[in-house]
Structure 1
Amino acid sequence: MTLTSSGDGTAMIEAFGAVLPVAVAVELSPFPIIAVVLVLLSQTGRPAAAAFLAGRLLGVAVVVGTVAAVSDLLERSAEASPAASVVRILVGFALIVLGLSKWRGATSDR
């Protein structure tokens, strides 16, 4: 997916439209729902659930904002600098290593 910026914000709207289904799926995944149920059943249910919800929304917003800002910077510098390509490769490699380490840790717990 290639987004072109015309200066009026349409690229950002298109990006939100492209990412929105994935964001909804992440937010509705069963793990946060299970955590909310467990928090609500605790002794300090409602205040703890409100704090959990606020933290969850803030955390997702920070991650989305950071990824959007970094991808925008990399998109703008992709034509001018080969350093952007190196950064993309290093970030991709780091994510693969992180995923493999999490996967190996999850399979060794069974």
Structure 2
Amino acid sequence: MPNQTHQRPVIPVKLATLIPQPTDGVWQLYGTLGCHLCDEAAQLLRYAQAVTRFDWRVLDIADLPDAQMLALADKIPVLATPRGILCYPFTLPEIVQHAGG
């Protein structure tokens, strides 16, 4: 009998259902260790903080539930703000706009 593997079905989901908007006002940058695009996104956030005020934190997708991690793996970096979700590549003006500046 051949070795059978069970694959999970691929179910398309909307990004907004995977990433809740922050309710505490602290922005969330979804990424993972070793992701150079995530590092670039974090640097943009640091630049933006020079002209506008906001707090942010990095959430590593490796720490998320498997389904959420797998769904986000090819989409990171993703930035969740109280005003909405920004998918990379996002720009410094877009970040400042989300901060209300």
Q: Name the structure with the higher helix share.
A: 1
**TM-score, L = length of structure 2:** 0.24
Q: Name the structure with the higher strand share.
A: 2
Q: Which has the higher contact order (CA 8 A, sep 6+)?
A: 2
